[in-house]
């Protein structure tokens, strides 16, 4: 009998890999909104997500509240924040200071975004960064200067990806080239903008891999429970939501029925993305936990330790009634 090989001597990896779970939050705009948000945060915390992203504009009016929220997440919860950061209209010096501030409070993940161009057509200040890849490279330079302070650690840098053509892009192929440029600049992973058809994510994945993109591309999904929100996001993304879904939501007799319709459609979309090879699911919560948790309950992600920390949908309905 031959001795076991070194390969046989080591335990085999599980066939079922864990699936990353994350949520998006945004800073509250009022004390009442803050109270509601923290109820949501505590509910989401029980699901043990890998991280929560916090929307944040470098020159936006929510900067102070975003930093305050991120700091409270770090100090008062077990959640790991991924801080959004936009670069349009800001100089490298301004952005380096903001990155340093985030690192000083304990942030170790940044979602590097270009940001929206000024709606008034104002000309950005001289020397301002123009593209997300410029911001990624700046983050890496700041990281390099702070290597000792980070215990030789690494900042996780995420970027945006587009399952459908970016409204300002000439083509979907150009979007993939931009994603490849972000990877070359040092991006670690990408999160997609909202999409409405599973084939859009699968097609993005195929085109990106053929072009040489190797970083994980995580589908961003939103619970399809609000007609107003779906219409608005459809306008922003330049892609109309599925007409049949919109008809079913409009014909629902009440909010509970609308919730069930929207959650089922979201679960179907997320499962199709996972079947296509998605390494995780990023849920745009709009600071509301009920529909996000309903989606998570039905998804049954292959991460067994998470299920023990979730209340069932029935239990939440009972508490809410």
Distance (Å, whole) CA 32 – CA 43: 17
Distance (Å, whole) CA 211 – CA 67: 36
> Residue 7 corresponds to which tokens in the numbers above?
């390969």
Encode 262-285 in three state secondary structure.
HHHHHHHHHHHHHHCCCCEEEEEC
Distance (Å, whole) CA 104 – CA 119: 32
140 touches 186 (CB < 8 A): yes
36 touches 287 (CB < 8 A): yes
CA nearest neighbour of 132 among 170, 69, 177, 167: 177
| 294 assigned to active site | no
Give SS3 for 317: helix
- Quick one: residue 7, left, alpha or beta (phi over 0 = left, psi -120 to 50 = alpha)? alpha
235-243: long-range contacts (C-beta < 8 A, 24 or more apart)?
236/167, 237/164, 237/167, 237/193, 237/194, 237/195, 238/164, 238/165, 238/167, 239/164, 239/195, 239/196, 239/200, 240/196, 241/196, 242/196, 242/197
63 touches 93 (CB < 8 A): no
Catalytic residue IDs: 24
């Amino acid at each position: 009998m031959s001795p076991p090989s070194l390969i046989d001597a080591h335990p085999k990896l599980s066939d079922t890999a864990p699936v990353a779970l994350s949520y998006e939050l945004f800073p509250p705009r009022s004390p009442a909104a803050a109270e509601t948000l923290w109820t949501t945060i505590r509910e989401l915390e029980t699901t043990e997500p890998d991280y929560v992203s916090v929307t944040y504009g470098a020159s936006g009016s929510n900067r102070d509240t975003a930093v305050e929220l991120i700091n409270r997440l770090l100090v008062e919860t077990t959640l790991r924040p991924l801080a959004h950061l936009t670069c349009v209209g800001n100089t490298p010096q301004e952005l380096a200071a903001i990155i340093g501030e985030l690192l000083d409070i304990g942030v170790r993940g940044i979602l590097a975004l270009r940001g929206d161009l000024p709606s008034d057509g104002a000309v950005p200040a001289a020397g301002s960064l123009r593209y997300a890849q410029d911001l990624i490279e700046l983050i890496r330079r700041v990281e390099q200067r702070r290597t000792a302070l980070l215990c030789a650690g690494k900042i996780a840098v995420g970027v945006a990806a587009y399952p459908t053509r970016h409204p300002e892009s000439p083509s979907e192929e150009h979007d993939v080239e931009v994603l490849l440029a972000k990877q070359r600049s040092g991006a670690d992973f990408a999160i997609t903008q909202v999409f409405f058809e599973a084939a859009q994510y699968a097609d993005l994945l195929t085109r990106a891999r053929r072009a040489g993109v190797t970083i994980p591309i995580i589908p961003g999904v939103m619970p399809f429970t609000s007609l107003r929100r779906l219409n608005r996001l459809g306008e922003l993304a330049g892609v109309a939501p599925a007409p049949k879904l919109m008809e079913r939501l409009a014909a629902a007799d009440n909010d509970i029925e609308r919730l069930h319709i929207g959650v089922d459609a979201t679960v179907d979309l997320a499962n199709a993305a996972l079947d296509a090879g998605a390494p995780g699911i990023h849920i745009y919560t709009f600071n509301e936990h009920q529909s996000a948790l309903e989606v998570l309950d039905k998804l049954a992600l292959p991460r067994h330790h998470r299920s023990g920390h979730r209340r069932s949908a029935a239990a939440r309905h009972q508490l809410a009634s």
